[in-house]
Amino acid sequence: MTRWGMVIDLHRCIGCYSCMLACRQEHFVPRGIYFNRILISEKGTFPTIQKLLLPVLCNQCKEAACVKVCPTGASSRREDGIVLIDKDKCVGCGYCIVACPYQQRTRFEDPKLEYFPGQGFTPYEELGKKLFPYQPGTPLKCTFCVERVDEGIKNGLKPGVDREATPACVITCPANARTFGDLEDPHSEVSELIAKKKALPLHPEFDTEPSVYYFRV
């Protein structure tokens, strides 16, 4: 059994936003919505202040609260651990948005919202509407670039090893802060990093068993 997961090295992350930009480009993410975000804070007192960076995305939880509260089955978890939203089953109730303890779902409201207000949709936006016809009133979130993963496996590639089968945010990171792979494989790079670096998910006390882990060394 496969369970896809990600490990993020907080020491390597430089806050360049490459992950956010790659995600937007890969999925034609509408204006005002983010599948990937970087939370920024500081600690210490002047003049010894340290900048803290925390990349966040859908945690693809094993015990996903969003799946449990969905009344129509629109939110579901695949056998490989990826949590998806079926826009045709979604009724826009918003239960999943409220239930997600990590606040990683956003309702898509306005399909007429342009990246450059008043200038019309760019060719890029028009293409996005065809490839990713997001439905107004439904929530959107990170999918671990499921299209890349599935297509890669179909072509005999290995996610986390071959670029074409790996999430865009992982292969774009210039600092190699992100690693993707099979959490159920004890010999995968993600599993070895978790064991060696004692990586932990965000808020393990929520009992959702996230598939995204973090460490700082």
| CATH (domain of 105) | 3.30.70.20
* 167 closest CA partner among 18, 16, 2: 18
Closest CA to 56 of 41, 43, 42: 41
Backbone angles phi, psi at 30, to 5 degrees: -60, 155
pLDDT at 47 over 90: no
- Separation between Cα atoms, residue 86 and residue 96, nearest integer Å: 13
Q: Sign of torsion, CA 175 17 208 41?
A: positive
Query: What is the arithmetic mean of pLDDT over 68-89?
Result: 97
Contact (CB, 8 A) for 61 and 209: yes
pLDDT digits (tens, 9 = 90+) for 99-155: 999 999 999 999 999 999 999 999 999 999 999 999 999 999 999 999 999 999 999
- pLDDT confidence of 75, banded at 50, 70, 90? very high
Domain of residue 41: give its range. Answer: 4-215
Closest C-alpha among 103, 90, 96, 93 to residue 54: 103
State the Rg of the chain over Cα: 18
Give how many domains the chain has, as a whole number.
Answer: 1
Mean pLDDT of 153-170: 98
What's the pLDDT score for residue 46?
A: 87
pLDDT at site 122: 94
Neighbours of 52 (CB within 10 A): 15
DSSP state of 215: E
| pLDDT the model gives residue 86 | 97
Encoded amino acid at 183, one letter: L
The strand order across the sheet containing 212-215 reads 178-182, 4-9, 212-215
Give the confidence band of 217 by pLDDT, cuts at 50, 70, 90.
confident
Is 166 a residue whose pLDDT tops 90?
yes
Question: Please, which pLDDT band fits residue 38 given cuts at 50, 70 and 90?
Answer: very high
Q: Calculate the alpha carbon distances from 62 to 9, 44, 176 in Å.
A: 22, 36, 25
Average pLDDT, the chain: 96
Banded pLDDT at 187 (limits 50, 70, 90): very high
Which has the higher per-residue pLDDT, 45 or 193? 193
Structure tokens at 168: 């865009």
Percentage of the chain modeled with pLDDT above 70: 100
